[in-house]
Chain A
Amino acid sequence: METLTMLWLHTGLIWSAVLAMMLAAMSAGLYLVQSSQLKSKHPGKILLTLPSLDRLDRIHIQSLTTGFVLFLAGILSGLFWAERKESLNEVLKDPRAILSLLTCALYGVVLAFRASALSRGQKIAAGTVLIFFLLLASVFISHNINPVIIQDGSPTRTFGDDNGASWKFLS
């Protein structure tokens, strides 16, 4: 039961993070559109419709920060759960986990650049959009590669299984 709660927490955090990152990617995309409209010097209807760059930037950074914190918490709860199941080493070899860690780290780098004011605006927005594609790839892979199955604390790799299993818990 405790494991199941931990799983729900992990899943909830990860999906909340994906939603926040989706919002961040959307606002970053709109920032790039607005910015290119302004750079073009021939602003069209889109320019009048969209919010200001400042507002889009604030939405982008707030949702990115929220998403990053949720993502990090989701990953940590997953690792904690795996550690309790004594399968941390195996989980760390799981491509999904590696991709998730990489995505999280990249989001961290983007945020660090923004926070340290080394970069902002178009480059940060483009970074958010690109990393969101990586996040989508990570989600896609999660649904198409069978994960580590944990049985009584003994992890077994199940690549190639046809059972379409996701996580299985055997107490």
Chain B
Amino acid sequence: MEILVVGLNHKTAPVEVRERLSIPSHKTGEFLRTMGERGIFNERLLLSTCNRTEIYGVEKQANGAIDAAKRFLSEYGRLDLKTLEDKLYVLRQPHSVEHLFSVASGLDSMVVGETEITGQVKDAYLFAQKNQQTGKVLNALFQRSLRVAKNLRTHTGIGAKKVSVASVAVELAEKIFGKLEKTKVLVIGTGQMSTQVVKAMVARGAQPLIVSSRHFDRARELAAELGGEAVLYAHYEHRMKDVDIIIAATEAPRLIIHEDQARRWMRERHEKPLFMIDIAVPRNIDTAVEKLDNVYLYNIDDLSGITEKNLAFRESQIENCFDLVKAQTGHYMNWLCKEFGA
């Protein structure tokens, strides 16, 4: 009896292949049932995210099961088996166990230490368990993997710092205003990056005001989606009295916020702190505004600089994390030996 992993991820396969084997949650049940009907693995579980598709299985006849799993994936994705095999990895225990612990802890993720994957592993496990696809071995393995992920987060710095521009912006805003529930965030421009940042802030309770000069319909749509208000470009200055955070992200080839303007706003706002985020290139906010008291200006390079520093810190924790993962793999393998004599 052996624990096996057959799969691919962002390191082994390009997006064109990954998208063919990306299995949406509503098809997971059918996918696992079909595998069961074909006798592929005694216990089985599917983990499918945007960056990976992995089948975890338990089987006595490992080689035959691995070949069957590969054929099944090739058939599902309508991909040539030989082409697919180059992108697939097959891991046998204890490497398969170590791999799962690393995946669940975010050590194998594109953004090292991200937490979303832990939730995805948990969901995949609960789904397979509910559909009676797992047994004693995979139940114990996945439950332990979630404990390992939690353990790593507690005892190392792997998840300590934010590594996306949006989350860094939110963290800075919280360092200025505390909770964002009473803050108003004004977004000038409706590009992808500004949308990400404002969504992250709204998720923390901020009230959005969306401004757009060229795409007012899109501003209205975004405002409706986020539960905020769309404001015409010509009118946004009248709202500055109530605004705490400005995100400037227009395609304008010139400055749209000048020092004298910001100085006037600060007087109108009774000098309350103002957080300005300029994620436009070329920049939209005059750098002279950062000299004003209680104004905190960050441009895209400032935010990226922080994320890179934080990512470097996370990467410095990886060695320590792998040591813990290896130790936990050893504990699990000991348990497996005692239970099954494997």
Collect the chain A residues with CB atoms within 8 Å of residue B175's CB: 34, 38, 43, 47, 50, 52-53
Contact call B293/A123, Cβ cutoff below 8 A: yes
> Chain A, 42-64, contact with B by CB distance < 8 Å: what is the 0/1 string?
11000100111111000000000
Chain A residue numbers with a CB within 8 Å of B273 are 53-54, 121
Residues of B within 8 A of A42 (CB): 305-306
B163 to chain A, nearest CB (A): 14
A119 interfacial by beta-carbon distance below 8 Å: yes
Tell whether A41 pairs with B272 under 8 Å between CB atoms, given A34-B175, A122-B293, A122-B294. Answer: no
Contact of A119 among B174, B177, B271 (CB under 8 A): B271
The reply to whether B290 and A38 form a contact with Cβ atoms under 8 Å apart is: no
Is B177's CB under 8 angstroms from A121's CB?
Answer: no
Counting CB contacts under 8 A, is B298 at the interface?
A: yes
A-chain residues with CB within 8 Å of residue B178 when the two chains form the complex: 51-52, 54-55
The A contact surface, by secondary structure, is loop
Contact with B along A122-144 (1 / 0, CB 8 A): 11000000000000000000000
Bound complex: CA A54 to CA B245 (Å): 14
Interface status of A39 (Cβ within 8 A of chain B)? yes
**Does B296 sit within 8 A of A, measured CB to CB?**
yes
A42 to B271 Cα, complex, angstroms: 23
Q: Which of A50, A53, A120 contacts B270 (CB 8 A)?
A: A120
Output the least CB separation between A48 and chain B (Å): 8
* Chain A hits for B290, CB < 8 A: 39
0/1 string, B293-307, CB within 8 A of A gives 1: 110101000100110
> Do the beta carbons of B177 and A53 come within 8 Å of each other?
yes
CA distance A50 to B178 in the complex (A): 11
Cα distance A43–B298 in the bound complex, in angstroms: 12
Is the CB–CB distance between A121 and B174 below 8 Å? no
Q: Are B270 and A121 in contact (CB under 8 A)?
A: no
Find residues 266-322 in chain B having any chain A CB closer than 8 Å to their own CB. 270-273, 290, 293-294, 296, 298, 302, 305-306
A53 touching B176, Cβ below 8 Å: yes
What A residues does B296 contact at CB under 8 A?
Answer: 38-39
**Residue from A41, A52, A117, A118 within 8 A of B176 (CB atoms):** A52
Nearest B residue to A58 via CB reads B178
- B172 at interface (Cβ–Cβ under 8 A)? yes
Contacts of A54 in B (CB 8 A): 176-178, 273
- Give bound CA distance, A120 to B293, whole Å: 9
User: A43 — which chain B residues lie within 8 A by C-beta?
Assistant: 172, 175, 306
A20 CB, min distance to chain B CBs, angstroms: 22
Closest Cβ of chain B to A110, distance in Å, is 14
Partner of A117, one of B270, B293, B306: B270
CB neighbours (8 Å) of A39 from chain B are: 290, 296
* Alpha-carbon gap, A119 to B172, bound state (A): 23
Pick the contact of A52 from B174, B270, B272, B293 — CB < 8 Å?
Answer: B174
- Chain B's closest residue to A126 (CB) is B293
A121 close to B176 (CB less than 8 A): no
Whole-angstrom distance between the Cβ of B242 and the nearest chain A Cβ: 14
Per the bound structure, the CA–CA distance linking A50 and B174 in Å amounts to: 11
Closest residue to A57 on the B side, CB-wise? B273
Q: Is the CB of B271 within 8 A of A117?
A: yes
Residues of B within 8 A of A52 (CB): 174-178
Report B-chain residues with C-beta under 8 Å of the C-beta of A38.
172, 175-176, 296
Of the candidates B177, B272, B294, B298, the one having the most CB atoms from chain A within 10 angstroms of its own CB is B294
Q: Closest Cβ of chain B: how far from A5's Cβ, in Å?
A: 43
Residue of B nearest to A113 (CB): B271
> Shortest Cβ distance from A76 into chain B, in angstroms?
31
| B305 / chain A contacts, CB cutoff of 8 Å | 41-42
Residues of B within 8 A of A51 (CB): 178
Find the B residue at minimum CB distance from A55. Answer: B178
23 sample A-B contacts, Cβ–Cβ < 8 Å, listed by A number: A38-B296, A41-B298, A41-B305, A42-B305, A42-B306, A50-B175, A51-B178, A52-B177, A53-B177, A53-B273, A54-B178, A54-B273, A55-B178, A117-B270, A118-B270, A119-B271, A120-B271, A120-B272, A120-B294, A121-B293, A122-B293, A122-B294, A123-B293
Q: Which 4 A-B pairs have the closest CB atoms?
A: A117-B270, A52-B178, A121-B294, A54-B178
7 further A-B pairs in the complex, CB-CB below 8 A; given A47-B175, A121-B294: A38-B172, A52-B176, A53-B176, A53-B273, A54-B176, A117-B270, A120-B294
